[in-house]
Structure 1
C-alpha cells in the first residue's frame, strides 16, 4: 500500500475518561490536526479539535459514555474533508497478552485473542475492543493496526519480568508487563533526536498523570518499570491504589467481604489520591492544599512514592544519568517536580528552582550530577509511526 502526501493516518487513543485522535500525513508523518473528547460521562464533556494549534468547530454538551464519544469522532471524520483520504487507522491498546507485544494488523484472530485476555485488563480492553469494532464498521475498507502499550517493556530481564509464583500462572499470562510504553518510546526517540546517546545512559522516565508510572531504561532497554501485571500497580495515582502488600488484598476480601469485581472497582476507581483527599485531580489538590490538610497529605504521598521509586529504579540500573518528567503532572506541575527532587541529593539530583518554575526543558542545577529534563510526550506520533510501518510492509 503506497503512501502519498494527500493521504492520512488516523490515530485513536482511548482512555478511561477521554478519547484522543490525530491525523498524520502518510509518508512525512507530519501532524495535520488533533482532537479529543475529555470529561466523558460528565456534563462538561466536549469534542475539541485543533489544526496547527488553531481551534476548529467541535461539539459541546457532554458525552454520557465512551460510545457516545466514539460516535461523535466518527461522525466528525465522516463529514470532514479527510474522509476519502484515510490510508489506515492505528489504535493504542493497553494489553495484548504475553504473545502480542509488537504492533500488528488487526484481524479477527487478534480480536479473539484480545477477548481471551480481558481478565488481564478488565478496565481497559473491553472498551478498546468495542472502540476498534466501531471504527471497523465505520471504515470497513481501511486496514487497522494495534499498538500495544506493553511492547516497550518486552525485553525486561527475567528477574524483573516474572513473579515468584508457580509456573502454571505464568503460562496463563501472569507476568510483569509494564505500561505507558508508547509514551516511553516517544521520549527515548526524542532524546536520541536531540543528540543524547540513549544506548549509553541510565535513564528514568517519570510519566506522571492521573495514571502514573516510571521506567528504568538502561542502554536503550527497559529493565524495570513500576506498573506490573496491570495499570493499577506501582505509584499511587488519581484513583488507583498503586502497590499494596498482598495481605491488604486478602484483608479486603476476607474482612471487607468484597467480591472480585468490588475489589477491582475499589482499587481502580476509589483509591489513590481520591481516597486520601476526596479529589483525584492533582491541580485541584494543589489549589486546595493551603487550606486542606487532606489535599496536602495526598500531594505529599504522591511525591514520597515517586521519590522512593526513583531511588529503587536507579538502584536497579546501578546508577542514574538522566531523569525525565513527562505526562500531564510531570510536564505542568513545577511544585510536584520540586517536591519529588527535594531529597534526592544523595543520587546527585538537584534542580534549578527558577528553570523549574519556568517549565524549561532542562531544569537541573549547575551542580546536579544527573541531567533533569521536562519533555512533552506524544503517544499518537508513535501510533502513527507504527501504523505506517505495518501497512507499508
Structure 2
C-alpha cells in the first residue's frame, strides 16, 4: 500500500482536494477535484492525473450543509480510487497566519486557537479553512495535519513595506501589512528557480489574478512587497472586493450615512469590485461578453489598477526583469492581459499579440535590449502542490516512513513547536 498526502483547500461553499503519492520523498499527483455548492446544490467532480473522471455526482437541495458531511461524501466518492493508498498526512491552505505563524506548522489545539483568533482578519476564508481542519480531524483521527499559510511567504518584507504610518504600538499589536496568496507566489518562485534560475534571481512581479487578485514583487525568489495588506481587501479590485480605498470613505459611510460596521464589511467584501461596479457579474468572461457599458468600465478600471501596481512594484525593486501572469484571470483572460500591459512600454514591456492570443508560456515580443527587454510569462500556479511539499518537509516524510515513526525528529519537533 503506497503512502499518500491529502491536501484540502476549504472555502465557504466548496472543498478543493488533491491526493499526492509519496515517490522518493516527492509528491506525485494522483487525483484531484472539488465539492462545490455546499449548502445549496452540492456537486462532486474528481479526476485522476490523466483527467479521467473518477466521480461526478450531484445532490438535490441543501442536504450537504457542512464541511464534515461534504468531506465524508468526497471520500466515499473517490474511495475506490484511493483504496490502495494510506493517507499519512493532510495539508491545509490557511489564509492568515498572523505575525507569529511564518512557516507551516502541525495543527494542534494551540495552533487552532491562534487561527480562530485571526478569523476577523480573513472573514471570507479563515472560518472555512478551520472547518476543513475540523472535518479532516473527524474523518481521519490521529493523522497529522499541517497548516500552510498564505501570509507566510511575505513575512520577511522590509519594515517599510510592512508598516502603516501609525504610532509604533499599533505595529507591535500586529496591525501591519501581511500580504496574501503566498502559496501561489511561492510556487511560482519555485517553478522559476527550476526552469530559469537566472530569471528567478532577478526582479520579478507576479500577478495572481483571479476572483481574489494581488501582485507581488520578488527578488531572488523572495517577496519584497505585495499589494494586499492587513486584510485581503487591499490592493487591486477583485471579483467582489473593493481593493484600495480611501479610509475616509469608510468613516463617511459610517458617520454621515449611518452604515453599520457590518454593512460596510458586507459592501467591501461582497458587493464591490467587478460585481459591484458592473452590476452584472464578478466573472471576467461574463463581463467581456456583456454589452453593458458598466461591464466594460469595470474591466477598464481593473486593468488600470493592475497596471498601476506593476509600475509601483517595479519602482520598489529598482527595475523589472520579468512579469508573470498566473491564476484564473491571469492564465486565461487574453484581452485583459493585453490591456494591462498596454502603456507599460516605458518599463520594457511589449506583448506579442499572437503569442498572447495563443496563451503561450512567453507572451512578450522579441526585441533588442532596451526594447521589450522585460519577459512576460504566463504560468499556471499550483498551491496544492506547494502545500504537499511543505507537508513532506514539515513532517520529514519519506515513501517508506510514516510521520509517527520512531526517529522522525523533525515531525516530533514540529508537533510541539507551538504547544
The two structures have a TM-score, normalised by structure 1, of 0.94
After TM superposition, give the deviation of residue 222 of structure 1 in Å.
Answer: 0.7
After TM superposition, give the deviation of residue 17 of structure 1 in Å.
Answer: 4.4
Q: Are the aligned partners of 1:240 and 1:268 in contact in 2 as well (CA < 8 Å)?
A: yes
Which residue number in structure 1 is paired with residue 287 of structure 2? Answer: 285
Which residue number in structure 1 is paired with residue 14 of structure 2? Answer: 18
Which residue number in structure 2 is paired with residue 35 of structure 1? Answer: 33
CA shift in 2, pair 1:198/1:276, >3 Å: same
Instruction: Provide the aligned C-alpha RMSD in A.
Output: 1.8
CA shift in 2, pair 1:255/1:62, >3 Å: farther
After TM superposition, give the deviation of residue 273 of structure 1 in Å.
Answer: 0.8
CA shift in 2, pair 1:59/1:242, >3 Å: same
Which residue number in structure 1 is paired with residue 71 of structure 2? Answer: 73
Which residue number in structure 2 is paired with residue 344 of structure 1? Answer: 344
Q: State the Cα deviation string for residues 291-328 of structure 1 (Å, max 9, x = none).
A: 21011001101101010000101111110000000010
Q: Are the aligned partners of 2:364 and 2:374 in contact in 1 as well (CA < 8 Å)?
A: yes
Which residue number in structure 2 is paired with residue 366 of structure 1? Answer: 366
Segments of structure 1 that go 5 or more residues without pairing to the other structure are: none
Q: Distance in 2 between matches of 1:66 and 1:324?
A: 38
How many residues align? The count is 386
| 1:50 equivalenced with 2:51 (yes/no) | no
SS of the aligned residue for 2:18 comes to: strand
SS of the aligned residue for 2:127 comes to: helix
| 1:195 equivalenced with 2:196 (yes/no) | yes
After TM superposition, give the deviation of residue 80 of structure 1 in Å.
Answer: 3.7
SS of the aligned residue for 1:37 comes to: strand
Q: Distance in 2 between matches of 1:248 and 1:17?
A: 31
Q: Distance in 2 between matches of 1:63 and 1:339?
A: 41
CA shift in 2, pair 1:58/1:98, >3 Å: same
| 1:86 equivalenced with 2:87 (yes/no) | yes
Higher deviation after alignment, 331-340 or 28-37: 28-37
Which residue number in structure 1 is paired with residue 294 of structure 2? Answer: 294
Q: Are the aligned partners of 1:40 and 1:69 in contact in 2 as well (CA < 8 Å)?
A: yes
Higher deviation after alignment, 319-328 or 63-72: 63-72
Q: State the Cα deviation string for residues 324-371 of structure 1 (Å, max 9, x = none).
A: 000100001110100000111111100100000000000000121100
Q: State the Cα deviation string for residues 122-177 of structure 1 (Å, max 9, x = none).
A: 22212211221111011112000000001110111000011111223223321100
Which residue number in structure 2 is paired with residue 379 of structure 1? Answer: 383
Q: Distance in 2 between matches of 1:353 and 1:41?
A: 43
CA shift in 2, pair 1:66/1:361, >3 Å: farther
CA shift in 2, pair 1:380/1:67, >3 Å: farther
Q: Distance in 2 between matches of 1:219 and 1:62?
A: 50
Q: Distance in 1 between matches of 2:293 and 2:68?
A: 39
Higher deviation after alignment, 222-231 or 161-170: 161-170
Q: Distance in 2 between matches of 1:137 and 1:88?
A: 14
| 1:323 equivalenced with 2:284 (yes/no) | no
Segments of structure 2 that go 5 or more residues without pairing to the other structure are: 397-409, 411-419
Q: State the Cα deviation string for residues 22-61 of structure 1 (Å, max 9, x = none).
A: 0001223110000112355554x52110002111123224
